[in-house]
């Protein structure tokens, strides 16, 4: 039986949320750089330049790559021989998300109609499970 403390789950969720918002996967970055070198359209080249530059700034300064950080979605696989101690599994995940949003200055809202009205829903960190 493998025992995990709830604080370990909370800390790992927070770490992964911040990492996902500060860094682009290196494989994806290589593909973006290849696309940027091959791009012939001035606008396309400019957009790829900006994505790469945003990543460089975000990773160096540890700030979100994009202001629109999206929705908090957590997928969890738990093995059969795992036991959570010192807390609640759901709350540990939700607390990790909360702390990442607060400490990482991640945007806590969603646009209701992104095409026509761009109305902010004012959704603020509800339970993700």
> 7-16, 33-42, 91-100, 117-126: which has the minimum mean pLDDT?
117-126
Nearest C-alpha neighbor of 74 from the set 2, 127, 19 = 127
Nearest C-alpha neighbor of 59 from the set 14, 107, 21, 103 = 21
What is the average pLDDT value for the chain, to the nearest integer? 85
Q: What values do phi and psi take at 122, rounded to 5?
A: 65, 30
> 18-32, 38-52, 55-69, 83-97: which has the minimum mean pLDDT?
55-69
Q: The dihedral of CA 55, 77, 81, 11: what is its sign?
A: positive
- For the stretch 69-124, pLDDT in tens is 567 888 988 888 888 889 999 999 999 999 998 898 887 766 666 666 656 555 44
């Amino acid at each position: 039986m493998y025992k995990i403390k709830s604080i370990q789950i909370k800390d790992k969720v927070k770490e992964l949320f911040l990492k996902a918002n500060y860094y682009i996967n290196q494989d994806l970055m290589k593909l973006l750089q290849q696309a940027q070198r091959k791009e012939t359209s001035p606008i396309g080249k400019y957009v790829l330049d900006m994505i790469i530059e945003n990543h460089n700034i975000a990773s160096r300064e540890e700030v979100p790559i994009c202001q629109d950080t999206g929705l908090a979605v957590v997928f969890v696989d738990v093995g059969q021989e795992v036991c959570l101690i010192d807390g609640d599994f759901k709350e540990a995940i939700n607390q990790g998300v909360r702390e990442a949003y607060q400490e990482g200055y991640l945007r806590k809202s969603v646009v209701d109609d992104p095409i026509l009205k761009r109305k902010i829903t004012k959704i603020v960190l509800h339970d993700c499970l």
